Every structure is written in C-alpha cells, then in structure tokens.
Amino acid sequence: MNHEYPQGIKWTKQRKDVYNILHDAAEPLSAQQIYNQIAKADEDGSYAPSTIYRILGAFEEKGLVRKTTWMDDSTVVYELKRGGHTHYAVCLTCHKRVPLRSCPFAHIHFPETGDDFQITEHKLELYGYCKECKNAKK
Amino acid sequence: MNHEYPQGIKWTKQRKDVYNILHDAAEPLSAQQIYNQIAKADEDGSYAPSTIYRILGAFEEKGLVRKTTWMDDSTVVYELKRGGHTHYAVCLTCHKRVPLRSCPFAHIHFPETGDDFQITEHKLELYGYCKECKNAKK
DNA sequence: ATCAGTGCAAACGATTTGCACCTCG
DNA sequence: CGAGGTGCAAATCGTTTGCACTGAT
C-alpha cells in the first residue's frame, strides 16, 4: 500500500481496501469480483455487498474511477482513472483479454459524425482468437 | 414485411414479429424495447417476456443476430446481422446516439497485441457532446 | 459531537427456468 | 403426430434502498 489516497473523501477501512484492489488490478473489475477478493483476504468477516456498490458509486462521483462494461458481457466494471486509457483484445473462444500496448487513435483523427459532434473520449474492443485457441482449432 | 425469413428455423408468429422489429430497427434494441413495441402494436394480448428472451437467444444461436451492450449502459441489446457494421457517437449529456457514416478501421491496420492474436471483429464507441448539448453549455 | 459511511435485510429490475399446453412442419 | 415453441409463475442474479447503528474528522 505504498500510495497516497486522493483527498476530498472520507477514507474508511472499507474504502481503502476497495481502492487498493482497484489500484493493483490489471484490468477493470466488477463489484462482485472486488467483493470476492475482499471476502477471501479478510478473515474478520467481509463487508456487505451493498457497501462495495456504494463505495464504487462514491468513487465514480468523485471522478476516481471510470465505470464501463465489456461489450460482450453486460456486467458493470470499474477501473481507477490513471493517466491514459487501455484497449483490449478479447478472445472469442476462451474470453481471455489482452491489453493493447498502444491506442490506434493516438495519432489518428476520428471520422466525421455528420453533425458537428465533439468527441472527447472513445472506447474500442477488438475480438478474435488468441494464439492458444487459434492453434487448438486447427 | 417484404422480406424473406432465413431458413433452418421454425417461424412462429412471435418469431416473425421479433424478426420484423429488428429488421426495421435503426439501432440495436433490448429485449424490453422489443417487448414494449409488441405490447403496443398487438391488441390481442402481447407475448410473455420470457418468450422474447428465448427468441432472441434462438436467433443468436442461429447466427441471425449479434448480442452487445452499449459501454455506458449495461443493458443487453440485439441487432440483426447485416452486411457491415456500424459504430456510434454517444452524447455524454443527452445520451443521443449518432451513427458514424463509415468505419475508421476500413483502411487502418490494428495495433499489435503482443502475442499473435488474430483479430476478426472490433467494436468502437465515441463519446462527447452533440451540437445541441455543446451549445447549451455555453 | 456530528454527519457521512456501514451492515443487514427487504425491494427491485432484468433475465432464466420448470412445467403443462399448444402449434408448426 | 411429434418435436419444439410458448405462457405463466416462481426462481435467480446483480444491484439498490430504508433504517438503525458506527466511526472518521
């Protein structure tokens, strides 16, 4: 836990735990995943599920986290807002997710939308087959 | 209803109705939206919600529809698989969706994924502010 | 001390499932 | 006629809410 907790919010034990889990996560997590992780780690009884949801809601309001869903799965997931953003390639067979090492839009302009729509963010997911599943199919 | 129904599946009245609605839809629809549309149009009592879900599930298995979610909203939506695919720009204020008139990846290569991941599909959503909401903010 | 945060259990909305009946092919 | 589809109601799953209690500042 060698990191600072952002200011302007009350840091209870529960909130710190959730924050730490998101901080160490390799990819966006659902409320359930966070709950399970806490339940496993915490001997002294875990938190109420509702608490996790409320904490995530509070984090979102404060702009600490980004709320999204994977497009192939309707579960809501949360990720800490860091400097940049990451896109993923998702395997259609084993559902493994591989982060892209760069954003294809870094130096590319977005297409016109017809009206003068002002683009500020974007989300991209690639789908296909990972090395293992591709070979397995042969 | 001047269109053919794909073969290899039993075409009940209910399935035809759902198919027609998806056929005429401008964008992906949720089971609820389809249900509501049928409930409104059909005087003679509408279908059981479960029927809509089962029909959509059957369509997906047959490869007739594509199942997705909007990334800013966890609702599951379905769209008929047609020739191409469409991306949308979503207004962060009024949630209006504007279809892009072309896919930015039409002539652009995907970034490396590290492993040799074989990309077959992709999904993109742009976020920002539509003309009206952009002006309203001033 | 005070007010926001938490636990618990009940409420909710979307989706699924079991079972008896009905219908397309 | 027979396999598969449908309606209904109960069950499930993720998430939200009301209320009394607890804890951070």
Same domain, A57 and A111: no
Determine whether the interchain pair A115/B92 forms a contact, defined as Cβ–Cβ distance below 8 Å: no
Q: Kindly tell me if the per-residue pLDDT of B56 is higher than 60.
A: yes
Q: What would the mean pLDDT of A39-68 be, rounded to a whole number?
A: 89
Does the pTM exceed 0.85? yes
Residues spanned by the domain of A51: 1-83
Name the more confident of B113 and B91. B91
Q: Kindly tell me if the per-residue pLDDT of A2 is higher than 60.
A: no
**pLDDT 10s digits, B18-39:** 999 999 999 999 999 999 999 8
Residue A78 near residue A65 (C-beta atoms within 8 A): yes
Chain B residues closer than 8 Å to A128 by CB: 117-121
Same domain, B19 and B40: yes
- Indicate if CB(A76) is under 7 A from strand D: yes
Determine whether the interchain pair A130/B122 forms a contact, defined as Cβ–Cβ distance below 8 Å: no
Same domain, A78 and A108: no
CATH number at residue A38: 1.10.10.10
Q: What sign has the CA pseudo-torsion B2, B3, B7, B11?
A: negative
Same domain, A5 and A72: yes
B125 touching chain A per CB within 8 A: yes
Residue B124 near residue B104 (C-beta atoms within 8 A): yes
Number of domains, chain A: 2
Angle in degrees, CA B111, B83, A121, rounded to 5:
40
- Look at the block and give the residue holding tokens 């991209």: A124
Same domain, A69 and A101: no
B116 touching chain A per CB within 8 A: yes
B47/C8 CA-to-C1' distance in Å: 38
**pLDDT 10s digits, B40-50:** 886 666 789 99
DSSP annotation of A63 reads T
CATH number at residue A127: 3.30.1490.190
Residue of A nearest to B102 (CA): A111
Q: What would the mean pLDDT of A86-93 be, rounded to a whole number?
A: 90
Name the more confident of B42 and A91. A91
Same domain, B56 and B122: no
Same domain, B108 and B134: yes
Confidence of residue B117 (pLDDT cuts 50, 70, 90): confident
A71 burial type by CB count under 10 A (0-12 exposed, 13-18 middle, 19+ buried): buried
CA distances from B96 to A76, A106, B25, B75, B93 (A): 21, 25, 16, 16, 8
B135/C1 CA-to-C1' distance in Å: 47
Residue A45 one-letter amino acid: G
Q: Kindly tell me if the per-residue pLDDT of A117 is higher than 90.
A: no
Same domain, A75 and A13: yes
Same domain, A73 and A137: no
Last residue of some domain: A83, A107, A127? Answer: A83
Q: Looking at residue B107, what is its pLDDT?
A: 73
What Rg, from alpha-carbon coordinates, does chain A have? 18
Same domain, A9 and A70: yes
Same domain, B76 and B92: no
Q: Which residue is nearest to nucleotide D23 (CA to C1')?
A: A12
A104/C18 CA-to-C1' distance in Å: 49
B73/D17 CA-to-C1' distance in Å: 21
Query: Could you please report the per-residue DSSP string of B11-61?
Result: --HHHHHHHHHHHH-SS-EEHHHHHHHHHHH-SS----HHHHHHHHHHHHH
Same domain, B15 and B64: yes
Given B108, B113, B126, which is nearest A100 (Cβ)?
B113
Q: Looking at residue A104, what is its pLDDT?
A: 84
CB-defined contacts A:B, below 8 A? 133
